Structure 1
Amino acid sequence: MATLKQPQLGQTIVSLRQEKNVTQEELVERCNVSVRTIQRIEAGEVTPRDSTLRIILESLDYDFNRIYNKAHVKKSVDTLKLAWILGIVYFMTGIAEAFLDFYRFETDLPIYYSWIYTSAKLIILATYIFFMLGFVEIGKLHKSSWLKISSFLMIGSMSIMELYDIITLFSKFSEEEFFLIKGIEGVAFAGIDMAFGISLFKLAKELGDLAKVAGLLEIGAGLCFLTFILGFVGLFILLPAIVLQIIIIYKVYDKLASE
């Protein structure tokens, strides 16, 4: 079972002990743990086993599960903070990606274009993964298996598409072949987009109207991808959807951080 990490754990025990006006020696007598062990735990030098921590906390009339819940919330806050920040980076680099894709078949591109293109694609993929992990965390918080599964599927689909773009850059693919396969990709992964949108829509009660609107936009984008010829329209629909999704993650993060 995960608990608070050091030095937060040690500081918490010190605060609890002082609130109860208990000395280290008295705490030793209560929980049958050596003074040296207590000192090292409070100093943040060692992390006790859960069984030892439970004994220490119970001797201070503190529920062990509260420590666990506090640690879980902190982990969620850290994940969500990283998710909304990198979500912004993903959104901004995603706009640049459109221009890079548009110019990739020009004949007079500079020699360093391929490395800029590859670097941009890898940055986009990395930031997108952390962005979507924010929704995985929200799925855990709200016990939504649908959101967790669809978020992982979104990560998988994005990984395939971005890696395909990089591979084809260094292979002999014509412009027609490239965009044909991109269209097929859009159709193939449209169902995943729609599933993700439905999972957001279903959490409108917990996450507010933003989740409902973002979900509908994601579903609309998925429907456009299914038609193949409206794929580019789907891409434009995704822009406001992504902005709303960043706001959703931020609002969940802000609420948890302030508790």
Structure 2
Amino acid sequence: MLGGLGVVAVIGLCALAGVFGASDSGTDVPAPVTDERAATVSILQRAADSQGICYGWKLLDWTNPTDAGSNLGEGVAVNTDPRCPRYVEVVANIRYTSESSEASDSAEIHVEGSSDFGDADLSAMASGLARFGLDEDAFIDDPGWAVTRAATTLPLLAAEAGLVEPAPTPTAAPAGSPSPLPAAGNDFWRDRWGGLLAAVGLFLLAALLVAVGVVQRRRQRRVAVPAQRAGASTAQSRTREKA
């Protein structure tokens, strides 16, 4: 009897552990997907090359690091890398609460930077994220997408704050030197090409009419000759009968 109760107790504890484990997993903050990270790194690389400043992002699950990246690559933070003496990064701290909790989900978003950037400028950049629809609700709904999207807006916000020069607009370089224009030709024919075409057209039309007239004339002759021959034979037969 005691052995059976022990088995039931163990099963019950395992079931409770599974329930609480599933509940805890529902509060985990999802990281950006692979495509989002790769696209963001590519955009930040171009901005860093043109503006001379590093850009990055950090995603925290209530102070626990979840994801990071920058123009240096996925998983590379800019605030500790010696290759980035000047940097700006967006930091999003997300907290999901369980369904049984009365507290609501929350998100704290701010922009951090190297020591040469003032707190007022960094705060203005963080406030500017809302213009792109990156408010607290967006970070709670999809933290991974929101934090990478926010990172791509940092170059524009930094330029608006006067911290860096605007990124140049890419322009397509000419494929090669333009080919020379063809020779101008004779002005006499250039000014009279319309009349020349009209004369050629009339000449061709006249030739066509002459050819048609010749063909019709030949056909008329072929029809008239047999008729004359038939009339001559009839007259000869009548002469013979009279004789």
TM-score, structure 1 length as denominator? 0.21
Q: Where is the helix percentage greater, Structure 1 or Structure 2? A: 1
Report the structure, 1 or 2, having the larger strand content. 2
Q: TM-score, normalising length from structure 2?
A: 0.22
Q: Which has the larger radius of gyration?
A: 2
